[in-house]
Amino acid sequence: NAGVTQTPKFQVLKTGQSMTLQCAQDMNHNSMYWYRQDPGMGLRLIYYSASEGTTDKGEVPNGYNVSRLNKREFSLRLESAAPSQTSVYFCASTAVPAVPDTQYFGPGTRLTVL
Amino acid sequence: DQQVKQNSPSLSVQEGRISILNCDYTNSMFDYFLWYKKYPAEGPTFLISISSIKDKNEDGRFTVFLNKSAKHLSLHIVPSQPGDSAVYFCAASVGNNDMRFGAGTRLTVKP
């Protein structure tokens, strides 16, 4: 039981390049989330998927797209990376959306855009 | 506009003493408050939470206090242990799909 896994752990991109961050959970959770963490800002919600087949914007969705591939997997895509997207990205999942304390986080992807 | 604020970036305490981490919020619609703990190179892990209908919740060495009139919550750790050294994030939500986090407080517990 790996919990929430994220790939890659580290990535360096040049401005304008694209990439997809992968997230998978093996806990049979319904809801999945993508956050970014910046120094002095805490974690901010980018997109979430309340259930398979649905996605919604969070607090900071601009410049990102997401895909809920199946119940296990939720990917985050940067179509044209910008230096402002340099951040640490965390994926999370939860079984019971009505209970906030059950969100489980992955270890993060550290992305640098030059 | 940060709706959840942790004004102390760092806190250092001696082992065995009390650690008090503070958090302020501006949105009166928040109905659930949480504390997460984060070690380097790991994701945040849930520590303790409190509903807006309560003013205190305890779990072992950890107690969270909520003062709704002041829009303030605090986390007390008694006694503090070196393994508690981590970054602590305060979070607040209206339901589970719009959680807002503070910037975090780095706690160092010295042996």
Of B6, B99, B102, nearest to A100 by CB-CB distance is: B99
What integer is the mean pLDDT of B13-38? 95
A111: closest CA of chain B, how far (Å): 13
What integer is the mean pLDDT of B79-95? 93
At B16, the pLDDT band (50, 70, 90 cuts) reads: very high
Q: Is B40 on the interface with A (CB under 8 A)?
A: no
Q: Is B101 on the interface with A (CB under 8 A)?
A: yes
Most A CBs within 10 A among B45, B101, B106, hence the mutation to make, goes to B101
Q: Which residues of B62-82 are buried (b: 16+ CB within 10 A; e: fewer)?
A: bbbbbeeeebebbbbbeebee
- Quick check: A100 and B49 CB within 8 A? yes
At B96, the pLDDT band (50, 70, 90 cuts) reads: low
The structure tokens listed for B8 are 């102390």
- Quick check: A98 and B95 CB within 8 A? yes
Q: Is A59 on the interface with B (CB under 8 A)?
A: yes
How many residues are there in chain B? 111
Q: Is B65 on the interface with A (CB under 8 A)?
A: no
Taking only the tens place, the pLDDT of each residue in A67-109 is: 998 999 999 999 999 999 999 999 999 887 666 667 899 999 9
Kindly identify which residue of chain A lies nearest to residue B93, measuring between CA atoms. A100
Chain centre to alpha carbon of residue A52: 15
Q: Is A56 on the interface with B (CB under 8 A)?
A: yes
Pick the range with the lowest mean pLDDT from A96-100, B30-34, B104-108: A96-100
Kindly identify which residue of chain B lies nearest to residue A94, measuring between CA atoms. B96
DSSP state of A85: G
What pLDDT is attached to residue A2?
77
At B38, the pLDDT band (50, 70, 90 cuts) reads: very high
A69: closest CA of chain B, how far (Å): 19
Taking only the tens place, the pLDDT of each residue in A31-69 is: 999 999 998 888 999 999 988 889 999 999 999 999 998
Residue A60, burial from CB neighbour count under 10 angstroms (0-12, 13-18, 19+): middle
Q: How many CB atoms lie within 10 A of CB A35?
A: 29
Instruction: Enumerate the residues of chain B whose CB falls inside 8 A of the CB of residue A41.
Output: 2, 103
What pLDDT is attached to residue A97?
63
